[in-house]
């Protein structure tokens, strides 16, 4: 089993290649209790935590870090700007800092390229973020990025990046950006390998982070991955996570279970032919954020998203 490497961001900082995904569903009670399993992950050795304003787990992240006794400087913490906060980036980052009780975040991502508004136009969100009312034309993500660059300059975040962006939307962003995104976090797993995006990001010096990285039960039971796992005396999650890292991609698997948290930090040592066989499983299949019956993913078509 291999140790977890660090990936160097274009900002100069180091990000552990495996982090803990910290979404906790739509029930506030579960979100408030997340500190318990975040703390267990820190005890297991996680030093990269991935939260978001929309997950409503920033408070739990701060609590777990303080309870762990681990110096803040040893933990890499990411949060994300909610899509209904695109017109109030300053207020949003301040709120994330206040909720978490942290002085800074290591990485601040624009969660989605699209901007949304809720019915009551409130800063707080309904428990289910899908309850948005309208997709807004303005501000554009280029304008939002300029505001995120100001937050970066203030030192309250050490790096900025994007999430759910494509080659098309990154190209559009780079037309006006002064700072190249450090990271683009996207859905990525063996059924959606995103080869072109991974190559493009490499050329631009952008690190790709995979969400839904194991592909959950369906891909964890794929016969090819089971076969590779048996060869290495590893679990299928350990094989899939090792495949991400072998591609130079970071991954943020979520697990609330202490044993599986530990399992996900121990990567199999894959042979080149294993990596090729996993690449060949690609079906361009999304399992997390995908278009609904209206042909749109949270209000945008795949064409708008560049997916």
The interface with ligand A2P within residues 199-218 (CB under 6 A) comprises: 212-214, 216
Q: Among 65, 220, 239, 246, which residue interacts with ligand A2P (rule: CB under 6 A)? A: 220
Q: CA 121, CA 132: separation in Å to the nearest integer?
A: 10
State both tokens at 73: 């400087």
CB nearer to ligand A2P: pick between 89 and 249: 249
Which candidate in 55, 108, 118, 211 is catalytic? Answer: 55
48 is an annotated ligand-binding site residue: no
Q: Among 100, 166, 255, 266, which residue interacts with ligand A2P (rule: CB under 6 A)? A: 255
CB nearer to ligand A2P: pick between 11 and 235: 235
Closest CA to 251 of 285, 281, 214: 214
Give every CB contact of residue 150 below 8 A, 6+ residues apart in sequence: 89, 90
CB atoms within 10 A of CB 135: 15
Q: Does 164 bind ligand A2P (CB under 6 A)?
A: no
Single out the segment in contact with ligand A2P by CB under 6 A; choices: 44-52, 73-81, 253-261, 267-275. Answer: 253-261
Closest CA to 206 of 107, 286, 75, 277: 107
Q: Does 59 bind ligand A2P (CB under 6 A)?
A: no
CB-side neighbour CA atoms (13 Å) of 226: 7
CA distances from 246 to 39, 44, 72, 141, 207 (A): 28, 22, 28, 31, 13
CB nearer to ligand A2P: pick between 204 and 216: 216
Say whether 55 is catalytic: yes
Q: Among 16, 21, 62, 113, which residue interacts with ligand A2P (rule: CB under 6 A)? A: 21
Q: Does 254 bind ligand A2P (CB under 6 A)?
A: yes
Alpha helices (H) along the chain: 28-32, 34-44, 58-68, 89-100, 141-153, 167-174, 195-204, 216-220, 223-232, 236-246, 258-263, 272-279, 302-305
List the binding residues for substrate. 111
Active-site residues, by number, are: 55
List the binding residues. 111
Using CB under 6 A, list all residues that contact ligand A2P. 21, 212-214, 216, 220, 235, 237, 253-257, 260, 263-264
């Amino acid at each position: 089993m291999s140790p977890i490497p660090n990936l160097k961001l274009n900002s100069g900082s180091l990000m552990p290649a495996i982090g803990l995904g910290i979404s906790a569903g739509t029930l506030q009670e579960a979100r408030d209790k997340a500190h318990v399993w975040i703390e267990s992950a820190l005890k297991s050795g996680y030093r990269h935590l991935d939260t978001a304003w929309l997950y409503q787990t920033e408070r739990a992240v701060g609590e777990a870090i303080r309870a762990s006794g681990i110096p803040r400087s040893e933990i890499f913490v990411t949060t994300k700007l909610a899509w209904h906060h695109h017109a109030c980036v300053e207020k949003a980052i301040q709120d994330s800092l206040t909720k978490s009780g942290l002085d800074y975040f290591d990485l601040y991502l624009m969660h989605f390229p699209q901007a949304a508004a809720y019915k009551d136009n409130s800063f707080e969100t309904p428990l289910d973020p899908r309850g948005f009312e309208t997709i807004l034309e303005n501000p554009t993500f280029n304008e939002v990025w300029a505001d995120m660059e100001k937050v970066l300059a203030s030192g309250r975040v050490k790096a900025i990046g994007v999430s759910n962006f494509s080659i098309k939307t990154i190209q559009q962003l780079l037309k006006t950006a002064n700072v190249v995104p450090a990271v683009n976090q996207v859905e990525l797993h063996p059924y959606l390998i995103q080869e072109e995006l991974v190559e493009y990001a490499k050329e631009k010096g952008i690190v790709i982070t995979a969400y839904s990285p194991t592909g959950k039960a369906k891909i964890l039971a794929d016969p090819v991955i089971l076969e590779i796992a048996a060869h290495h005396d590893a679990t299928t999650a350990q094989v899939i996570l090792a495949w991400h890292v072998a591609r130079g991609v970071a991954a943020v698997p979520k697990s609330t279970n202490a044993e599986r948290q530990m399992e996900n930090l121990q990567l199999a040592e894959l042979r080149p032919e294993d990596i090729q066989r996993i690449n060949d499983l690609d079906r361009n299949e999304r399992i997390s954020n995908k278009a609904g019956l209206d042909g749109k993913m949270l209000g945008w078509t795949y064409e708008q998203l560049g997916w």
